[in-house]
Amino acid sequence: MKKQFLLLLVLVINYSYSQSVNDYKAVIVPVKFDFLKTENQYRLNTLTKFNLKKAGFEAFYTNETIPNDYSDRCSLLYIDVLRENGFLISKLFLTLKDCYGKIIYQSVVGKSKEKEYQVAYSEALNEAFNSVYSLKYKYNGSTITKVQPATQLEVAKPAAETIAVFKTVVSEPVVVNTVLADSNLLYAQLTATGFQLIDSTPKVIMKLFKTSQPNSFIAIKDTVQGSLILKDNQWYFEYYKNDKLISEKVAVKF
């Protein structure tokens, strides 16, 4: 009786997930997963895209040119593969998130006892995808329109260790007045340490790290490190260049 109940529960959960993933037109695959050192290491990113297409999804890499039919970033899912610690065993699982970083689906944990990473990770990932296949994904043609209220910006709690950025202001900041069109709008995705700001491609433009202040982030854009600060209801990326404080206006949708 207990086994029948658990089986029924799994079927209900899978059904509810399938109802969610069916709302999305395609999946965006990163070219590098966080637990790996290089892009497409062990060909896991290639294997991920292959399995997604095998499961019925349209899939694109983050650095691909995406067709206009998929230009609405909130009609897409974003996949991540994560490693779970295990003694003498490799464990991987995947998550599918929406455009605001909310987990829409999380797979079972795939496992492998193989010693070679190439074989072990491939085996574990393929096993994790078995639960994705059971969703029997099929896009239902719905159009998702999501508006993220400004009040949902997470208030950061003081961390045990805080990275400090020290600045000595020697002059008034040079404000860069940039005309902000819709194409310049950046979207915030939740990460373990704060947010990442992506454009409509989607491409990661800036990484934000939480501080003890909810309206101030440590910000990294390419090789430039500075701060993203909210002033007069507008976000500014501030950094030093040639001993001058530069303040760039940034359009962000959290």
Confidence check: pLDDT of 6 > 50: no
- pTM of the prediction? 0.54
pLDDT band at 71 (very low <50, low <70, confident <90, very high): confident
pLDDT in tens, 198-248: 888 778 999 999 888 888 999 999 889 999 999 888 899 999 988 899 999
3-state helix, strand, coil in the chain (%, to 5): 25, 35, 45
Between 112 and 12, residue with greater pLDDT: 112
DSSP secondary structure code for residue 32 in this structure: S
The mean pLDDT of 57-68, rounded to a whole number, is 91
CA-CA distance, 74 to 52, in Å (whole number)? 18
Convert the pLDDT of each residue in 123-173 to its tens digit.
Answer: 999 999 999 999 999 998 875 544 444 334 344 444 444 444 544 444 555
Arithmetic mean of pLDDT over the chain: 81
> Which pLDDT value is given to residue 179?
40
